Amino acid sequence: MLRLRSTAATLALASFVALGPLATDMYLPALPAMATALNATPAQAQLTLSVYMIAIALAQLVYGPLSDRFGRKPPLLVGLVLFTLASLACALAQSIEAVIAFRFLQALGGSAGPVLGRAAVRDVHGPLEAARILSYLGAATALAPALAPIGGGYLLAAFGWPSVFIFLAAYGLAATALLWLALPEPLAPAQRQSIHLHSIVRNYRFLLRHREFVGYMLACAFTFAGLFAFLSGAAFVLIEFLGISAQHFGYYFTLAVGGYITGTLFAGRLSRRLGINRLLLIGGVIATLGGALMAALALAQIFTALAVMLPMMLYMIGVGIVLPQSTAGAIGPFPQIAGSASALLGMVQMSIAAAAGILVGHLHSGTPLAMAAIIALMGTAGLASFFGLVWLPGRALQECSVKEV
């Protein structure tokens, strides 16, 4: 068994957290081909992404309390097995409706990875160190969305779109073996909580009444929703509208991932010096500027790949700063209910992301405009949530304390 504070254990947790971006990003290049093969519209193909997010949102509300009661490892094992089986079913599906249904099941299993991986980091490293570890974890897991579209594009060209889901099934099987054989349980028995419905509802109600938790949660959720708006529309904009090949789609996608890695490394190096809130403000401003720039270029009818990807790279620098800091800010103060806090954060994050993705699918007219406008809106909403619920009230309290002294 690995030591939980070892680098190897942190990388193992990263492989579970990466399950989410891997399952969404790897088949992005295959979306147009899958839609053609199954006689589906772009909106129906995009629904396979949004349904995945909806299922993740619902499942996390269950995984969180279960993991607070029984530990992180048993629910994660069940989730990984379900993810593996559902991935195989997606590969064998003969209609878009079947893919949508199996994607729902795939997400029910796969959502265990991110929510329990984040909670395990909090279990092992504590609230302050968790922000730094989550930043580096974000950089490590960014390898999944960086490499996944490239690998997905080549799998599509060589073996067709079902091969992407076969690869995901193999990844799920390997992750299951890693968890079963190499990782001990991170949650101490003394920290486990009741699973009674009353306790679950009470914990969620307590969190929703906590102003700073809500502020961090919404900052994380809206900023992530801008990323998901891009994921929902990028393949149709870059491949169908701008004529980029499916094999080369992943290389353009690495610009966005490079931005994300830059943001996470920046946050990881400066988290102790600047603190969570200053970093969140910086990241929120950067993401808002990136979204606004993309929307402005689209309104000016400047339709090139770089006009989409360079602003998205800027937006993703902001995402790389905001996501780990807002996650640590939301979960850190609640060690006894870290699983429930992580689950509620994930549920709201994925629900808003699914709504943004559905909007992109329904408003998409071929050009980047709808996608860019929604990205700009989500970035602005994330910054406003943090600024109005965390930053300004915190400054007011500091001023009151100074005046009292």
Locate the domains of the chain by residue range: 13-182+210-404
| CA–CA gap between residue 116 and residue 119 (Å, rounded) | 5
| CA–CA gap between residue 163 and residue 51 (Å, rounded) | 21
Question: What is the per-residue pLDDT across 11-22, written as a single tens digit (0 to 9) for each?
Answer: 777 778 878 778
Asked whether the predicted pLDDT for residue 50 surpasses 70, the reply is: yes
At 401 the pLDDT is 45
Give the chain's radius of gyration (CA, Å).
20
Which band of pLDDT confidence, cut at 50, 70 and 90, is reported for residue 206? very high
Question: What is the per-residue pLDDT across 313-370, written as a single tens digit (0 to 9) for each?
Answer: 999 999 999 998 898 888 878 877 776 787 788 889 888 988 998 898 888 888 899 9
Q: What is the pTM of this model?
A: 0.75
Which band of pLDDT confidence, cut at 50, 70 and 90, is reported for residue 404? very low
Are 264 and 171 in contact by the 8 Å Cβ rule? The answer is: no
Asked whether the predicted pLDDT for residue 264 surpasses 70, the reply is: yes
Which band of pLDDT confidence, cut at 50, 70 and 90, is reported for residue 405? very low
Tokens of 40: 């589906």
Which amino acid is present at 4? L
What is the three-state SS of the chain?
CCCCCCHHHHHHHHHHHCHHHHHHHCCHHHHHHHHHHCCCCHHHHHHHHHHHHHHHHHHHHHHHHHHHHHCCHHHHHHHHHHHHHHHHHHHHCCCHHHHHHHHHHHHHHHCHHHHHHHHHHHHHHHHHHHHHHHHHHHHHHCHHHHHHHHHHHHHHHHHCCHHHHHHHHHHHHHHHHHHHHHCCCCCCHHHCCCCCHHHHHHHHHHHHCCHHHHHHHHHHHHHHHHHHHHHHHHHHHHHHHCCCCHHHHHHHHHHHHHHHHHHHHHHHHHHHHHHHHHHHHHHHHHHHHHHHHHHHHHHCCCCCHHHHHHHHHHHHHHHHHHHHHHHHHHHCCCHHHHHHHHHHHHHHHHHHHHHHHHHHHHHCCCCCHHHHHHHHHHHHHHHHHHHHHHHHHHHHHHHHHHHHC
- Least confident residue range of 143-147, 263-267, 286-290: 143-147
Q: Which fold, 13-182+210-404? A: Growth Hormone; Chain: A; (1.20.1250)
Question: What is the per-residue pLDDT across 208-221, written as a single tens digit (0 to 9) for each?
Answer: 999 999 999 999 99
Question: What is the per-residue pLDDT across 151-193, written as a single tens digit (0 to 9) for each?
Answer: 888 898 889 999 999 999 999 999 999 888 877 777 667 667 6
